[in-house]
Amino acid sequence: MTLDNVNRAAVDRIIRVDHAGEYGANRIYAGQMAVLGRTSVGPVIQKMWDQEKDHLKKFNELMVAFRVRPTILMPFWNVVGFALGAGTALLGKEGAMACTVAVEESIAHHYNNQIRTLMEKDPEKYEELLQVIRKFRDEELEHHDIGLEHDAQLVGDLPLLFACGTLGTLFGRGVRGFCVLRSRFHCNHQRKQTKTVL
């Protein structure tokens, strides 16, 4: 996939949003490991985190290749992601896994939407990006299932379970929503500049 044969606005938006999401996921797992790293569930969280590190590395490479700027909220996701991971982990294994289930479900849903969008545009043209997104989507779903296998639904207190799930879902949607709005603002700003020049 080269710069010459793709819809740059669409690719920029996808890469920026996914990079922010994977960065946030990394910070969540970092927070969970800070609390639960030395417990019996530590190796499980570490394995999922290692995959998230691979995801982030790939999107870092795509950011450079396509000259995409990261979201300006990276410092915010850094703090909020870690706090969300550590905060839910303080509720125990179940709290951490409830957060994982919610976040990974949100990210997988988002990846599915991107796959549909790229398939509608031109699946052959975007095959390389589609392969990346499909692979990462499948791994996010694995993390979701691992969370369920490790008692995500057994937080013990329904309000706490709801809070973990809601915070995780809001985090995932917040990353996507802000990046999409920023991309649209950037595109509109560019159009206004073009009209001014004309």
Q: What is the pLDDT of residues 39-76, one digit of tens each?
A: 999 999 999 999 999 999 999 999 999 999 998 888 98
Neighbouring residues of 7: CB distance < 8 A, sequence distance ≥ 6: 121
Per domain, the residue ranges of the chain are 3-197
Distance (Å, rounded) from C-alpha 96 to C-alpha 155? Answer: 9
pLDDT of residue 195: 43
Residues in binding site:
22, 52, 55, 104, 140, 143
Tokens 């790293």, residue?
37
Question: Are 175 and 25 within 8 A, CB to CB?
Answer: no
Buried b (16+ CB within 10 A) or exposed e, 110-132: bbeebbeebeeeeeeebeebbeb
Distance (Å, rounded) from C-alpha 95 to C-alpha 22? Answer: 20
Taking Cα atoms as reference points, which of 162, 137, 153, 142 lies closest to residue 21? 137
Residues in binding site for Fe cation:
22, 52, 55, 104, 140, 143
pLDDT of residue 45: 98
With a cut of 70, list the residues of the chain below it in pLDDT: 1-5, 155-198
Taking Cα atoms as reference points, which of 24, 160, 18 lies closest to residue 97? 160
Cβ count near 42 (within 10 Å): 15
pLDDT of residue 90: 92
CATH class as words, domain 3-197:
mainly alpha
